[in-house]
Amino acid sequence: MALVGIVLLSACGQQGIQVAETAGRTESDTVYEKMQEEQKKQKKSRPSPISEKETELSEVIEKLPSDSPVPSMEPDPESYDLQLVFIGDETFGQNPDGTGIPELCMMRCKAHGYSLTAAGTGAAVEDTEILGNERWRSQGLVGMVKAMNAEINTGIFADEAVQAVLTDAETDFSNTDYFIISYGLNDFRHGIPQNNEEYAYDFRTYAGALRVAVGALKDRYPGAEIILCSPYYCRFYKDGWMIGDSNTFDQGKGTLRDYMGTCEYIAGEQQVLFLNTYDNLGIDGYTADEYLQDGIYLTDKARDSYADLLAGMILNHEEQKNN
């Protein structure tokens, strides 16, 4: 009906014009008609707001590449420039073929750093080791941190790789993003007490040594993160016979699992990161043959799993810090 009305009005308009022409047109009539014609032309040439938006949108769509990548939600190691420092015993240390946990973890994080790992060492200072910085001989965690802070003679360390790092003039621990500490197995094997209830910072105990080392690193490198890695599941043998595992074997100071609990407690107390390799590495009584050599040392597969676990923690922590 609306369309019919428009047609009828148009027809009436045309008849009106014809009548005007027949009756005789004035100059004002001619001017008025020209104005109407000009308005009609402008309406036809002017695009609607909708068509303008559609044109702009189509231009944007055409400019988008067809193979535009979808943003990943996974942490991107290349976006970080991390320095990692690894401090630990032989279970954490370097392998001659470059497949130690420090090397594997740095590869996964695309990071650089230093490995300060010494065989046979623990976190604590043993009773037979002399105290005093001038005569210091302990090569464990407390001694390593003292050497890093240039408090003792670095010549005491038997490991040549450790000495090379500590004596290199270009070594700079001040740029460290993460200090990663792993001790406990040798503290357990050497019968080191887990704690001294009368003096929390007794570095002749496992917990006391962790407290002293973490505190010293925090004071000297306040911008760095610290990760305490727990001991992992082990089996113990004597004369070819298994005498127990880390859940059951106790030399009078607790099981290795107890030392793991102490490590976790200190991490919480000191408000540093904790990596629970005992429960999360996948090693237990059923998988020990696959993951352990001689009941203690990690196989290639186990080191890969350890590096995955540790690198995952670091990269996820970086992602959270940057969000």
Share of the chain above pLDDT 70, in %: 75
Does residue 39 sit within a domain?
A: no
pLDDT tens sequence across 303-313: 999 999 999 99
Structural domain boundaries enclosing 305: 78-321
Q: What is the CATH number of the domain that holds 85?
A: 3.40.50.1110
pLDDT digits (tens, 9 = 90+) for 242-265: 999 999 999 999 999 999 999 999
Contacts of 224 (CB under 8 A, 6+ apart): 176, 177, 178, 179, 217
The residue behind tokens 């880390």 is: 246
Q: Count the domains in the chain.
A: 1
Per the prediction, the chain carries an average pLDDT of 83
Residue 222 in this model has a pLDDT that exceeds 80: yes
Do 214 and 266 contact (CB within 8 A), yes or no?
yes
Give domain status of residue 124, yes or no: yes
Residue 264 within a domain:
yes
The reply to whether 17 falls in a domain is no
Residue 288 within a domain: yes
pLDDT at 175: 95
Alpha-carbon distances, residue 18 vs 4, 21, 23, 26, 41 (angstroms): 21, 5, 8, 14, 22
